[in-house]
Amino acid sequence: MSTSYVKTQHITFSEEKDALTLKCGSRLLPFTVAYETYGQLNADKSNAVLILHAFTGDAHAAGLHEGESKPGWWDDMIGPGKAFDTNKYFMISSNVLGSCKGTTGPGSIDPKTGKPYGLSFPVITIHDMVAVQKRLLDHLGIKKLLSVAGGSMGGMQAVAWAVLYPQMLHSAIVIAACHRHTAQQIAFHEVGRQAIAADPDWQNGDYYGKSIAKRGLAVARMVGHITYMSWTSMEQKFGRKLVGKEALGYDFSKDFEVEGYLQYRGQSFVDRFDANSYLYLTKAMDYFDITEGTKKLSDAFAQVKADLLVISFTSDWLYPSAQSKEMVRALKANDVEVSYVELKSDYGHDAFLVECTEQSRVVMNYLSKVFVERVGS
Amino acid sequence: MSTSYVKTQHITFSEEKDALTLKCGSRLLPFTVAYETYGQLNADKSNAVLILHAFTGDAHAAGLHEGESKPGWWDDMIGPGKAFDTNKYFMISSNVLGSCKGTTGPGSIDPKTGKPYGLSFPVITIHDMVAVQKRLLDHLGIKKLLSVAGGSMGGMQAVAWAVLYPQMLHSAIVIAACHRHTAQQIAFHEVGRQAIAADPDWQNGDYYGKSIAKRGLAVARMVGHITYMSWTSMEQKFGRKLVGKEALGYDFSKDFEVEGYLQYRGQSFVDRFDANSYLYLTKAMDYFDITEGTKKLSDAFAQVKADLLVISFTSDWLYPSAQSKEMVRALKANDVEVSYVELKSDYGHDAFLVECTEQSRVVMNYLSKVFVERVGS
């Protein structure tokens, strides 16, 4: 990775056979998918692993883009000799439908009008994201995946993969995720959406080229950011440390480092993410409920053929271990081969992105085992 | 209580001797305090209990105002035969400094300009709130309180009372509170403040008579509201229940009851609370740190003379039991008579307002015991 740069590729699906019928009932065509690959696809195409990103992630999961110094978002996990060993596996990472990082979303041009979709973009779901990834795999000529893997919203996609395309994968790695959003998870997202909608610059989603809903989006991100950290990680990182002050200001300027940090996180997010995509992706997560139609989780998992690895983190209060354990129980009830690991971490929900040492070991061993047992390599 | 109505009274302090020197260094005079009393002060003035309200509370803690059907915010706890038995005790409840419910705050008229203070109102602290309450007690001729009691921000005031005026109280009841705000507690408040500041109608606090920062304040309240409930209470109350729909809408209208509930909570809050008071009171809580100056909590509690009752709730993740236990340890280290009760509840932080059966029993017994042991009645 250190000597060669990675590049984001784009594939546009415009043929009738590729048309997507979304869960909302709308039809989507054409659509573009941004993706990256790392490593080499082997001769029998049995070593492909699909990486599924979280909410504000993108296709750039690993390696360096030319001219940039910051590697992909899961570079700790993907590369030669790493958990997702690119000497062994062919890694695919694509940006999700509805995002703003190269794959079609509300900021894309609607070919019917020649203008950005805005809120006329159809509401999308985790299921729709997965359907788009399926098109990409078809395009790449991959009939069966060694694994799919992701954390948070990526973990929900992994769950959806295991249920929707049981024949297409040997295993799925579900990290810091759930099988459906709870009231509290929906509530935090709703606050973010309301913060965006409250911003006059949002203009009901029709702001492209006119304004940027900076303030609302920044507030939404701040709420999110608190939920990604833990009580302990916030206390260790900030506590009551003052920001460049000897004493409390007794005014409404920043006093505490944690205030400055949140403001910075909010403001910098605005430069890299689209307010409408924020709405669409949070809504997709809130809609996610793999028991829809079956009611019982064990029934929803009845068709699963893949082995599963489920990972959660002790201090993750946004997607707590209880939700992972619920999935594990329902999988076991279906006699699915499932490994569950609760990793100790103070990093809260963010742990899957930052606490990679132990996670790497668990994933590396698991994937090697699946590769031997299920592919025979 | 059923036959007689209670009335909010107001006292304005305008004499030099009453002038407040606030923690920020500013001087405040005149200032008005809104308060209510329930029950009768006994002959030796030994049965007075001061009730301390939480963030968005007011002086109307119990009983009915004429023409209204909703009783005071702690009516379950205060009244004849209740925990704070008005047949035995003389209850005093006042609105805090900086609020918008009758006591002087940023929405009050600055006598120097004849206009509302807005952000020219001095930043206030929990210590300042307590200093104002002290003036009220002086006015009422009460030299020593049987007890002070409050939950959340009210609990912080109770802690401040015990430390700042050790000779003035026999006991203090500290519920769902802490001795200082942590990074996460500050962070949630900061999001609320940023949401208000992001609202163009807020106009840097100078909006009185011009506009109402409805949208920002509503978002701030929604964030707060999530933190007041627990995962379980949200799940039990809402889960994934749909709001007046047979099926998911796949649009940006309300789908889930929890979304509608939060929106309603946000919008109705705007009618009863002032955005600037939201800023001032959250800041007061964030500034609160009883160890300021001493660093060690046990040193901060060295002068405490009162008995203490500390109550926390199992599902309160905003002010978790760990913070209460920390106070209890430091009080015990000073040989303070302290009782600690962790009550089982699914209601989260709101429990002190809604889960009153067991809390009543604990408080009633505690207060009777203190009355006998410390006052001899």
ipTM confidence: 0.96
Tally of CA atoms within 13 A in the half-sphere of B254 that contains its CB: 16
Is A123 part of a structural domain of the chain?
A: yes
Would B4 be classed as within a structural domain?
no
Mean pLDDT rounded to a whole number for chain A: 96
Q: A53 CA to chain B: closest CA distance, Å?
A: 22
Which one of A283, A307, A325 terminates a domain? A283
Residues B104, B172, single domain; the answer is yes
Total CB pairs under 8 A between chain A and B: 154
Q: Are residues A166 and A191 located together in one domain of the fold?
A: no
Q: Could you tell me how far CA A23 lies from the centroid of its own chain?
A: 19
pLDDT band at B369 (very low <50, low <70, confident <90, very high): very high
The pLDDT tens digits of the residues spanning B24-78 come to: 999 999 999 999 999 999 999 999 999 999 999 999 999 999 999 999 999 999 9
Q: How far apart, in Å, are the Cα atoms of A140 and each of A11, A37, A90, A160? A: 10, 11, 11, 20
Among the candidates A237, A258, A283, a domain finishes at A283
**What's the CA gap between B97 and B106, in Å, rounded?**
9
pLDDT of residue B3: 56
Higher pLDDT, B228 or B253: B228
Specify the number of domains making up chain A. 2
**Given B152, B312, B315, B345, which residue is catalytic?**
B152
**Quick check: B190 and A262 CB within 8 A?**
yes
Whether A370 and A298 share a structural domain: yes
Domain extent at residue B232? 186-283
Q: Are residues B145 and B252 in the same domain?
A: no
Check if A255 is active-site.
Answer: no
| pLDDT at residue A242 tops 50 | yes
**Nearest CA-CA partner of A59 in A76, A41, A81, A34:** A34
Helices (H), B141-274: 153-164, 183-197, 214-228, 231-237, 257-270
Q: Is residue B1 in some structural domain? A: no
The residue-averaged pLDDT of B116-144 equals: 98
Question: Model confidence over A170-209: pLDDT tens digits?
Answer: 999 999 999 999 999 999 999 999 999 999 999 999 999 9
User: Within this chain, do residues A215 and A233 fall inside the same structural domain, yes or no?
Assistant: yes
Of B249, B283, B317, which marks where a domain is finished? Answer: B283
Nearest CA in chain A to B261: A187
User: Do residues B165 and B205 both lie within one domain?
Assistant: no
Active site residue A10: no
Which residue is it, tokens 């160890």?
Answer: B291
Chain B environment of A289 (Cβ under 8 Å): 240
- Tens-digit pLDDT profile for residues A118-164: 999 999 999 999 999 999 999 999 999 999 999 999 999 999 999 99
pLDDT (tens digit, 9 = 90+) per residue, B294-313?
A: 889 999 999 999 999 999 99
Task: Grade residue A293 by pLDDT with cuts at 50, 70 and 90.
Answer: confident
Same domain, B133 and B201: no
Whether B310 is in a domain gets the answer: yes
A279 and A294 belong to one structural domain: no
pLDDT band, very low/low/confident/very high, at B22 (cuts 50, 70, 90): very high
Which of these is catalytic: A46, A108, A147, A152?
A152
Q: Quick check: B1 pLDDT over 70?
A: no
Residues of chain B with pLDDT > 70, as a percent, come to 99
Residues A36, A135, single domain; the answer is yes
Based on the fold, state whether residues A267 and A140 are members of the same structural domain.
Answer: no
In-domain check, residue A3: no
Residue A2 lies in a domain: no
B350 Cβ contact list (under 8 Å, min separation 6):
B228, B229, B233
**CATH number of the domain bearing residue A31:** 3.40.50.1820
C-alpha atoms less than 13 angstroms from C-alpha of B150 in its C-beta half-sphere: 32
Same domain for B230 and B335, yes or no, is no
Q: What is the pTM of this model?
A: 0.97
Catalytic residue among B316, B321, B345, B350: B316
Q: What is the CATH number of the domain that holds B277?
A: 1.10.1740.110
Measured between CA atoms, the residue of chain B closest to residue A293 is B247
Asked if A20 and A132 sit in the same domain, the reply is yes
The answer to whether position B2 is within a domain reads no
Judged against a pLDDT cut of 90, whether residue B244 lies above it is answered with no
Q: Is B368 marked active-site? A: no
How confident is the model over A257-285, as a mean pLDDT? 97
What does the pLDDT read at residue B56?
97
- Confidence class for position A1, pLDDT limits 50, 70, 90: very low
